[in-house]
Amino acid sequence: MTQILEHWIDGKPWPGESTRTAPVFDPALGTPQREVRMATATDVGTAVAAAVAALPQWRDSSIATRSRFLLTFRELLNARKDDLAQILTAEHGKVLSDAGGEIARGLEVVEFALAMPQLLKGEFSQNVSTDVDVYSVREPVGVVGIISPFNFPAMVPLWFFPIAIAAGNTVVLKPSEKDPSAANWLAELAAEAGLPAGVLNVVHGDKEAVDALLVHPDVAAISFVGSTPIARYVYQTAAANDKRVQALGGAKNHMLVLPDADLDLAADAAVNAGFGSAGERCMAVSALLAVDSIADELVAKIAERMGRLRIGDGRRGCDMGPLITREHRDKVADYLDVAATDGATIVVDGRETTVDGAAEGFWLGPTLIDNVPTSSAVYQDEIFGPVLSVVRVDGFDEGIDLINSSPYGNGVAIFTNDGGAARQFQRRVTVGMIGINVPIPVPVAYHSFGGHKASIFGDAKAYGPQGFSFFTQEKAITSRWLDPSHGGINLGFPQHS
């Protein structure tokens, strides 16, 4: 009998009313391993109701209580991270080492959330007027909806729910239906760490579940990571329903390599950032801008390194695994035909890669395409796969112009040994996260993550200080404690004195 992954509501598995399920594949095998329950709007309402019921007790819990939970959760997660990595590899396909890296970055956010006592403090101004004090407090917003993507089924939920919970909110998490098991695993671990029932709930599903969260009157805030079209939809729909929203969208991340750069370092970085996690990263480098004078040499170095990569089942010590689904693999592979039609040069064709894995797996090897026209969809689209496009530029200014003309503004990198060029670059590019000789400039947990332009909707970035700001709302209190000798009546407008 096929196993069905149920929702996690009010501290336990819960089937809900829906009989609709979807298959969950092992991408390296190409076969479904289980089914996942797909929620109705009513099921989502049940999850929200559990979060609403748990809110008063958790909101009023002490900072010490919340800190103890986070400490215990952190220790359990760290002790069992290898078990979680196995789940990620089995359902997403990323290799075990990459899965371990994902968990490590999520752990950083859990550790950052322990700074909650400092970051939830308000401010105090004494005697702003005679015997009048003003102070502020930060309080939770209420029930938070989190909608996370398939490419980081552990890390992205960990970007959000530890901070939301630390701030006193309750959560309904809707993970991707393509790799949903990590979310349940995390929720069960949180319960073991002492989190009260209903504080963290997991509801599975597709657009029906997402829409139910976006319009539910008891959901106060939405956190989302995904493609730009869906991020825009999430932002517009949730905002129209009076919710605060942080919606992180897609990317077309550029890496500009100047003639003075260390080309070996740049080639290593291009391979690592272009093909890690099979390119299914919003921070992957997908557009390499090579200055003409060094382009031939750089392309040759990248191609040589790509030949050393071992592609296959992530549990076999390979460097890169499969793509998430057969449909996505086919969509990415179709861009190679587009590139050829548009006059680009396919230097390394990932369709010809020999893999260490089942023939039915969703394989596409690392692909390198040179001389890509900027008019081509290969350059313009977020392909979200192991395809590195090389665009040749005549120099620094043309590279910056291309970066700034992109509708996306998530991440960007420059490789150079010229400090002046690097400083000018970071000031001129309209991008949210910048790497200088660093190909994937994902900020550490105590800085916030997010881009510019069509890579983000809403005012708040993820985690870091902005995470706590997003998951709290401020009250300002003006108080006067009257001296017993005070008296008299004055009907005039209050005056400062």
Query: What pLDDT score was predicted for residue 482?
Result: 79
Q: How many CB atoms lie within 10 A of CB 115?
A: 16
pLDDT score of 486: 60
Q: Write the single-letter amino acid at 198.
A: G
Judge whether 373 and 343 are in contact, CB under 8 Å: yes
If one counts every other C-beta atom within 10 angstroms of the C-beta of residue 404, the result is 15
Check residue 462 and report its DSSP letter.
B
**Paired tokens of 249:** 């969208």
Cα 257 from Cα 270, distance rounded (Å): 10
Q: Tell me what pLDDT residue 459 has.
A: 85
282 noted as active-site residue: yes
Query: Using alpha carbons only, what angle is made at residue 232 by residues 462 and 221, rounded to the nearest 5 degrees?
Result: 50
Name the active-site residue from 282, 285, 306, 445: 282
Give residue 43's pLDDT: 98
Q: What is the pLDDT of residue 41?
A: 98
Q: How many whole angstroms separate alpha carbon 207 and alpha carbon 182?
A: 20
Q: Which residues contact 349 (CB under 8 A, 6 or more apart)?
A: 336, 365, 367
Q: How many CB atoms lie within 10 A of CB 84?
A: 22
**Structure token pair of residue 263:** 């080309």
d(CA 13, CA 5): 9
Structure-token match 């309904």, residue found: 172
Q: How far apart are CA 79 and CA 88, in angstroms?
A: 16
pLDDT string in tens for the chain (497-residue length): 789 999 999 999 999 999 999 999 999 999 999 999 999 999 999 999 999 999 999 999 999 999 999 999 999 999 999 999 999 999 999 999 999 999 999 999 999 999 999 999 999 999 999 999 999 999 999 999 999 999 999 999 999 999 999 999 999 999 999 999 999 999 999 999 999 999 999 999 999 999 999 999 999 999 999 999 999 999 999 999 999 999 999 999 999 999 999 999 999 999 999 999 999 999 999 999 999 999 999 999 999 999 999 999 999 999 999 999 999 999 999 999 999 999 999 999 999 999 999 999 999 999 999 999 999 999 999 999 999 999 999 999 999 999 999 999 999 999 999 999 999 999 999 999 999 999 999 999 999 999 999 999 998 999 999 999 999 999 999 999 977 666 667 777 666 55
